[in-house]
């Protein structure tokens, strides 16, 4: 039986190394290799691999985000490829998933591959999926994000609900919170505020702007290859980053 395999790693040399280690495995069929989770999603949907060598840390969509985006009932066998420290590796062991520590050693690679074969032969996919879901839950960041921001006006302090913000604009060492017809100035840099906001809700689209994704209705090309983002309020903002993220979110609206 052929073991359809996908290699996902943002480092070309790491992908090449795994492919070289697989070349003498007669039951392995490499159906693709890619550099991030977005590309992997497309290949998984098209090729339905049974085994994935998956890097944990990748740009845009990392390994954990990829697994969370896949239907739980269709998760393949996962062998993590990671540069995490020993404490993180212990977490992988407890969750009964397998891992390879970079740089990958041949003996450890063969051990992980043999374990993957045994798991597929046992067909105990329910248990494997439960263990993988447990790992994903444990790996989720425990960061909490504020539901409101405080705004000082002289001696008075008021609060703005984060969910009601349309967009945030940089103004030197201040930011301006645009909330409907109201504007609020807060003494904080845009970069610092960005770290305190949930990335699932807010997206930095420009050095001077962060948008609430719930307020975005579309985007369109502008001059010199750039784009503008259109908000429900009718406001249009220049966009120099996050084009792909906007496109993906709009696809599900």
What does each C-alpha distance from 141 to 101, 137, 144, 201 come to in angstroms? 22, 9, 9, 15
What does each C-alpha distance from 216 to 165, 208, 210 come to in angstroms? 12, 17, 11
Query: Would you say residue 43 has pLDDT above 90?
Result: yes
The predicted pLDDT at position 242 comes to: 73
Q: 147 versus 90: which is more confidently predicted? A: 147
**Length, in residues, of the chain:** 253
Question: Which span out of 5-9, 78-82, 143-147, 193-197 was modeled with the highest average pLDDT?
Answer: 5-9
Q: Is residue 176 within a helix (H) or strand (E), and if so which, with residue range? A: strand 174-179
Neighbours of 176 (CB within 10 A): 15
Q: Which domains does the chain have, with CATH numbers?
A: 3-139 (3.40.50.2300), 148-251 (2.40.50.1020)
Task: Measure the CA–CA gap between 67 and 60, rounded to whole angstroms.
Answer: 14
pLDDT (tens digit per residue) in 174-193: 999 999 999 999 999 999 99
Task: Measure the CA–CA gap between 195 and 175, rounded to whole angstroms.
Answer: 14
Contacts for 73 with CB less than 8 Å, ≥ 6 apart = 129
Q: 66 versus 16: which is more confidently predicted? A: 16
Task: Measure the CA–CA gap between 213 and 221, rounded to whole angstroms.
Answer: 18
The predicted pLDDT at position 249 comes to: 64
> Could you please report the per-residue DSSP string of 28-93?
EEEEEEESSHHHHHHHHHHH--SEEEEES--SSS-HHHHHHHS-GGG--EEEEEE---HHHHHHHH
Residue 170 in contact with residue 177, Cβ under 8 Å?
A: no
Query: Would you say residue 95 has pLDDT above 60?
Result: no
The predicted pLDDT at position 190 comes to: 94
pLDDT (tens digit per residue) in 8-35: 999 999 999 999 999 989 999 999 999 9
Pairing state between β 182-186 and 174-179: antiparallel
Task: Measure the CA–CA gap between 239 and 222, rounded to whole angstroms.
Answer: 9
Task: Measure the CA–CA gap between 199 and 208, rounded to whole angstroms.
Answer: 16
State percent of the chain over pLDDT 70: 81
Q: What is the mean pLDDT of residues 115-124?
A: 78
State percent of the chain over pLDDT 90: 45
> Could you please report the per-residue DSSP string of 222-245?
-GGG-EEEEETTS-EEEESS-HHH
């Amino acid at each position: 039986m052929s073991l359809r395999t996908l290699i996902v790693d943002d480092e070309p040399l790491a992908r090449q190394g795994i492919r070289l280690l697989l070349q003498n495995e007669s039951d392995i069929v490499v159906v693709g290799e890619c550099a991030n989770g977005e590309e992997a999603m497309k290949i998984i949907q098209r090729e339905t691999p049974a085994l994935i060598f998956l890097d944990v840390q990748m740009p845009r969509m990392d390994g954990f985000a990829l697994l969370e985006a896949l239907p739980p009932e269709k998760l393949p066998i996962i062998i993590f490829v990671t540069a995490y420290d020993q404490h993180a590796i212990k977490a992988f062991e407890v969750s009964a998933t397998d891992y390879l520590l970079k740089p990958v050693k041949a003996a450890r690679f063969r051990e992980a591959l043999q374990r993957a074969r045994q798991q597929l032969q046992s067909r105990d996919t329910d248990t494997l999926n439960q263990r993988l879901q447990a790992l994903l839950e444990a790996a989720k960041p425990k960061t909490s994000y504020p539901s409101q921001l405080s705004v000082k006006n002289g001696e008075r302090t008021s609060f703005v609900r984060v969910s009601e913000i349309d967009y945030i604009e940089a103004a030197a060492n201040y930011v301006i919170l645009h909330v409907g017809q109201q504007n609020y100035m807060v003494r904080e840099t845009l970069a610092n505020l960005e770290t305190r906001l949930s990335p699932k809700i807010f997206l930095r689209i420009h050095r001077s702007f962060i948008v609430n994704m719930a307020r975005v209705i579309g985007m369109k090309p502008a001059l010199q290859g750039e784009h503008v983002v259109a908000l429900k309020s009718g406001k249009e903002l220049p966009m120099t980053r996050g084009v792909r993220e906007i496109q993906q979110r709009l696809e599900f609206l």
